[in-house]
Amino acid sequence: MILVTGGAGFIGANFVLDWLRAHSESVLNLDKLTYAGNLHNLASLQGDARHVFVQGDIGDSALVARLLAQHQPRAVVNFAAESHVDRSIHGPEDFIQTNVVGSFRLLEAVRHYWQALPAIKKEAFRFLHVSTDEVYGTLSADAPAFTEDHVYEPNSPYSASKAASDHLVRAWHHTYGLPVLTTNCSNNYGPLHFPEKLIPLIIVNALAGKPLPIYGDGMQVRDWLYVGDHCSAIRRVLDAGRLGETYNIGGWNEKPNIDIVHTVCRLLDELRPRADGQGYAAQITYVKDRPGHDRRYAIDARKIERELGWTPAETFDTGIRKTVQWYLDNAEWAANVQSGAYREWLQTQYADTGAEIKA
């Protein structure tokens, strides 16, 4: 089996669902279930013996050591993190605890487990660390996209904490020989995205008749990738990535935020028109900018294409249409997240199932 951390969050849950659709190999899913972890995301796996869920912290060394010894995974894919830039500005402590201290403790537990494996299993073992393009800092309008050799210049508490974890992963390879892989991906979007992030927030606010907040002038550029494509890239790197290497993952799809918001509004105008006949763009509201807001990210994804033959399957047009449709079809999911009801799911749905849900 493989151990996935943070597999109840946005990308982790998409990864676990995709994995179990494509593989017979089981997943041990370790997630702390912070506000961002949502077991509703994994509801379709209830009763599937290939999915073992454990509520716990990657920074709990004793728990991680016990799980590794008990389940003997052949790989670890580390998604677990605090992931929201705005939250990191308001309260950086959790970001340091999970992204830095938690990653360190996870690496140490994995190193001890890996060092004791028999030679064949030791050789085959992989630790894949999921990271972000934000570690590279910000780009001017005409600068070339980030390659894997770009200097690290993180600007927010979030990106600084992810940069620190990337450095730890690199050092655990260089010093101890731990067989690591690191991926640095651009902005994801798609189903199960928590509505604190731009695209899902715009969809749910638009449908609720609320303002659509645009930070600053709305001309900040992000490079958007459909979440399923991020998951396929991670699977490819896990299968065939060169040890100790970093792979940038992106969609070759740079867009200013305001264009993204207008695209979402146009799709909603088509699929769920407002009752008053006005367009959803009427709800756009410019608000105070994010402090230290990075102006532009762009990923040069030629290395993963050249070495591993990976390219995204979705264009932005196909991916954003699927995404908007998913939110229209899953209004209950979004309502549960907004009301907080999703946090009761653990007790109500997993109680008495025999599932390993508690450390």
| Catalytic residue numbers, as ranges | 133-134, 158
Q: How far is the CB of 31 from ligand DAU (least distance, A)?
A: 16
- Residue 236 CA from chain centroid, whole number: 16
Q: How far is the CB of 184 from ligand DAU (least distance, A)?
A: 9
Q: In sequence order, what E strands does the chain have?
A: 2-5, 27-31, 51-55, 75-78, 126-132, 180-185, 187-189, 212-215, 221-226, 246-249, 254-256, 284-287
Per CB under 6 A, 130 contacts ligand NAD: yes
Tokens of 214: 């645009």
Task: For tokens 């730890």, name the residue.
Answer: 168
- Distances, alpha carbon 95 to alpha carbons 76, 156, 162, 248, in Å: 21, 11, 9, 22
- Give CA–CA dist 307/353, Å, rounded: 44
CB atoms within 10 A of CB 174: 11
Tell which one of 80, 214, 221, 264 touches ligand NAD (CB under 6 A): 80
Q: How far is the CB of 132 from ligand NAD (least distance, A)?
A: 4
Residue 110 binding result from ligand DAU, ligand NAD, none, given CB thresholds of 5 to 8 Å by partner type = none
- Give CA–CA dist 186/134, Å, rounded: 8
- Give CA–CA dist 83/254, Å, rounded: 21
- Give CA–CA dist 99/297, Å, rounded: 21
Residue 214 binding result from ligand DAU, ligand NAD, none, given CB thresholds of 5 to 8 Å by partner type = ligand DAU
Cβ atoms 293, 138 nearer than 8 A: no
* Stretch in the footprint of ligand NAD (CB under 6 A) among 33-41, 286-294, 301-309, 321-329: 33-41
Q: How far is the CB of 168 from ligand DAU (least distance, A)?
A: 17
* Stretch in the footprint of ligand NAD (CB under 6 A) among 79-87, 171-179, 287-295, 331-339: 79-87
Per CB under 6 A, 246 contacts ligand NAD: no
Rg value, the chain, Cα? 20
Residue 34 binding result from ligand DAU, ligand NAD, none, given CB thresholds of 5 to 8 Å by partner type = ligand NAD
Tell which one of 27, 36, 212, 238 touches ligand NAD (CB under 6 A): 36
The residue (of 159 and 283) whose beta carbon lies closer to ligand NAD is: 159
Per CB under 6 A, 77 contacts ligand NAD: no
Sign of CA dihedral 89, 140, 10, 270: positive
The residue (of 186 and 323) whose beta carbon lies closer to ligand DAU is: 186
Per CB under 6 A, 283 contacts ligand NAD: no
Interface residues for ligand NAD in 95-114 (CB under 6 A)?
Answer: 98, 102
- Give CA–CA dist 266/223, Å, rounded: 20
Binding residues vs ligand NAD (CB under 6 A): 5-6, 8-12, 30-34, 36-37, 57-59, 79-83, 98, 102, 130, 132, 162, 185, 187-188, 194
